[in-house]
């Protein structure tokens, strides 16, 4: 199954997810089937289980090794094993070849069901118990009539397999711009990425607030807007810039950006979209939504410089 050409050509706050399942062995009785999903825009293709020829990586037991796909050597990850499950090994297993932040990785799963088109408002944020139980690997929950589907934080899976891909490896403090006196709101549904982005900005002397999704970020921005009006102070005394992921439960980054830019007061705030999903089509959607800049993960050094530059420009437009 190839990735649809129109996978990300949809309206604001819409997405397409591909649902797959993992059959887990149980002590007694039939295997338990758990359903998971990821954004179709990050899926390159789905293939049959390949013959692994490479030597498995040593730093994680879920790394099965490598295989050759049309002249390209790709790592193969047992996603069930990564999730801590004893899975059913079958010749019917499928492999999802995906790309995140320019890194192509293949994940073996028990099977694939279908693609669902929906809106981010249908995706629920995971509760604290689910986050703790899943080790923060689940970023969203989708409830269908006959099943519950968990959206996985695939960037976390990939970075755990290869420490060199962790976002922290790309922080360049030597070139970080001084953001002292400036307040940034960061919206990202991935706990690990959100924490890393916030830490990077804080190390560059920015004051940082966090939001777990676009809806939470919007509610916080409206509170600041109301506070500024009540206290008769400029909005920029309270907040200076928004950094937002694109894929988030309840409200995605494009919708958040558009709502900010359509608000008579909030529109003065610069917005940076910081995502692993910045393709040409997605970039155009961000531009139409009003984003002031769009940066692909994991370029944290560029993020801090861009944040400082956009804030300076918004505060001193003639400078």
> Residues 181-235: pLDDT tens digits?
899 999 999 888 888 899 989 988 899 999 999 999 999 999 999 999 999 999 9
Q: 88: pLDDT confidence band, cut at 50, 70 and 90?
A: confident
Residues 86 and 177 in one domain: no
Q: 14: pLDDT confidence band, cut at 50, 70 and 90?
A: confident
Residues 156 and 174 in one domain: no
pLDDT digits (tens, 9 = 90+) for 65-76: 899 999 999 999
Average pLDDT over residues 90-117: 91
Last residue of a domain, one of 163, 182, 204: 163
Is 254 inside a domain boundary?
Answer: yes
Q: Which residue has the higher pLDDT, 318 or 106?
A: 106
Is 249 inside a domain boundary?
Answer: yes
Is 211 inside a domain boundary?
Answer: yes
Last residue of a domain, one of 133, 163, 193: 163
Q: What is the count of structural domains for the chain?
A: 2
Q: 174: pLDDT confidence band, cut at 50, 70 and 90?
A: very low
Secondary structure (3-state) at 288:
helix
Residues 88 and 119 in one domain: yes
Residue 72 is part of a domain; what is its CATH number? 2.40.50.180
Report percent pLDDT > 90 for the chain.
55
Report the mean per-residue pLDDT for the chain: 86
Selection from 136, 150, 184 nearest residue 304 by Cα: 184
Last residue of a domain, one of 132, 163, 194: 163
Strands 94-100 and 103-109: antiparallel
**pLDDT given for residue 300 in this prediction:** 83
Residues 173 and 154 in one domain: no
Instruction: Indicate the range of 55-59, 118-122, 157-161, 276-280 predicted with least confidence.
Output: 55-59
**pLDDT given for residue 266 in this prediction:** 97
Inform me whether the pLDDT recorded for 10 exceeds 50.
no
Separation of alpha carbons 70 and 256, rounded Å: 40
Is 8 inside a domain boundary?
Answer: no
Inform me whether the pLDDT recorded for 245 exceeds 50.
yes
Is 7 inside a domain boundary?
Answer: no
Residues 151 and 199 in one domain: no
Residues 140 and 179 in one domain: no
Residues 159 and 35 in one domain: yes
Please, are residues 271 and 242 in contact by the beta-carbon 8 Å criterion? yes
Residues 249 and 119 in one domain: no
**pLDDT given for residue 8 in this prediction:** 39
Average pLDDT over residues 119-125: 91
Is 1 inside a domain boundary?
Answer: no
pLDDT digits (tens, 9 = 90+) for 34-49: 999 999 988 999 999 9
Name the residue range of residue 86's domain. Answer: 14-163
Is 308 inside a domain boundary?
Answer: yes
Please, are residues 108 and 21 in contact by the beta-carbon 8 Å criterion? no
């Amino acid at each position: 199954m190839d990735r649809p050409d129109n996978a990300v050509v949809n309206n604001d706050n819409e997405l397409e997810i591909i649902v797959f399942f993992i059959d887990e062995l149980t002590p007694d009785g039939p295997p338990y089937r758990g359903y998971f999903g990821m954004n179709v825009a990050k899926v390159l293709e789905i293939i049959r289980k390949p013959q692994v020829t490479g030597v498995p990586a040593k730093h994680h037991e879920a790394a099965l090794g490598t295989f050759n796909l049309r002249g390209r050597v790709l790592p193969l990850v047992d996603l069930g094993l990564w999730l801590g499950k004893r899975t059913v090994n079958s010749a019917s297993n499928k492999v999802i070849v995906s790309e995140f932040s320019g890194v192509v990785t293949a994940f073996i799963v028990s099977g694939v069901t279908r693609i669902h088109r929906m809106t981010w408002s249908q995706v629920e944020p995971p509760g604290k118990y689910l986050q703790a139980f899943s080790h923060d690997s689940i970023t969203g929950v989708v409830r269908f009539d006959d099943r519950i589907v968990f959206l996985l934080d695939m960037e976390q899976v990939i970075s755990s397999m290869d420490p060199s891909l962790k976002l922290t490896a790309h922080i360049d403090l030597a070139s970080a711009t001084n953001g002292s006196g400036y307040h940034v709101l960061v919206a990202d549904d991935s706990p690990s990425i959100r924490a890393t982005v916030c830490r990077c900005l804080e190390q560059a002397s920015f004051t940082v607030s966090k939001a777990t999704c676009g809806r939470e970020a919007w509610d916080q921005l409206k509170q600041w807007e109301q506070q500024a009006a009540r206290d008769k102070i400029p909005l920029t005394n309270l907040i200076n810039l928004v950094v937002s992921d694109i894929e988030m439960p309840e409200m995605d980054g494009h919708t958040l950006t558009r709502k900010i830019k359509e608000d008579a007061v909030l529109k003065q705030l610069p917005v940076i979209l910081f995502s692993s999903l910045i393709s040409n089509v997605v970039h155009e959607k961000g531009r139409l939504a009003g984003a002031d800049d769009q940066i692909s993960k994991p370029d944290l050094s560029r993020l801090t410089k861009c944040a400082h530059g956009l804030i300076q420009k918004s505060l001193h437009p003639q400078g």
